[in-house]
Amino acid sequence: MSTMIEAGAVNRAENRSDWALWLRQIRAIMRIEISKNFWGRRAFLIYLLAAVPVFLMFLLSIVHTDGGKDITRNWAASQEVFGYIYEYLILQTIVFFGCAWIFMNLFRGEMVDKSLHYYFLCPLRREVLVAGKYLSGLVASATLFTLSTIGSLFFLYYARGYPANVNFLFDGPGIWQVFDYIGITILGCLGYGAVFLFIGLFFRNPIIPALLVYGWEWINFLLPPVLKKISIVHYLHTLAPVPMSEGPLATVVAATSPLISVPSLILFTAAVIAFASIRIRRMEIQYGGE
């Protein structure tokens, strides 16, 4: 009996040691990859994408002659207009293509640069490599596109002036709307990041699968209720702080509760990352075909 207890204690100690090692390796991979994502030669395009909605809101609220006055006079309508700008420009375009660029290049970019084998030669589990790279992409995308969202909201609120914004943000629903937009952006990076990491691992030419996913997300409003739920944008749309119509052609479907939407996106992401981890175990380096 004492021998069995000692063996169990040794196994638990070894498991704790393994987890500690994996966490250290994940942190090390994240440091390397975050630096690449923010300062690498492929990062410039992401900064441009993130700046587009901020620059647009700057033009609408500051440069446009009557833009600030229109926002102040028609505040409710302006919030709805921003909701459309957020969903169709920021979320379904900027975040989508930004995540595609960041996450597909985590592995596919290294294949093109003929540098992935350096990771494969290291004494680390490939699942750890997937986790470290995914988390680095999530940190980069969530940081840049959250700042893009906040910058866009800043110029929306700037047009109203200080007193009105203080009342709206702290005595009204404003601060919660800001948090909602930030949360949706992060969830978008979470879900789209997993999809594009998977595509980057499975497809030699990831552009066609990415465009198919983009088309599916854009026609979501036309799909039957069952198919609507096989998309990321459906769950993100239900979290929008300002309700918006999908148009007269949209298929009517009951809104999904946030208590279902958020866990569903997290579980979906976990499943895709787990599948990618299984895939990478059998992955072989073949630079010649790249």
25-57 pLDDT tens trace: 999 999 999 998 899 888 899 999 999 999 999
Residues 6+ apart with CB under 8 A from 208: none
SS3 per-residue string spanning 188-218: HHHHHHHHHHHHHHHCCCCHHHHHHHHHHHH
Rounded CA-CA distance 31/37 in Å is: 10
Kindly state the percentage of the chain with pLDDT values over 90: 42
The Cα 245–Cα 13 span in angstroms is 56
In this prediction, residue 5 carries a pLDDT of 46
pLDDT at 159: 80
Burial of 142 (0-12, 13-18, 19+ CB in 10 A): buried
What's residue 230's pLDDT? 85
- 235-278 pLDDT per residue, tens: 898 888 887 776 666 676 777 788 888 999 999 999 999 999 88
Residues in the chain with pLDDT values less than 70: 1-15, 65, 67, 246-250, 252, 286-290
> pLDDT at position 117, please?
79
pLDDT of residue 266: 93
Longest dimension (CA), the chain: 84
**What whole-number distance in Å separates Cα of residue 258 and Cα of residue 270?**
18
The whole-angstrom separation of Cα 202 and Cα 272 is 12
**E strand or H helix at 106:** helix 96-113
Q: What is the DSSP letter of 223?
A: S
The confidence score (pLDDT) of residue 12 equals: 53
Domain range summary for the chain, segments of one domain joined by +: 21-289
**What are the tokens at 220?**
């979501």
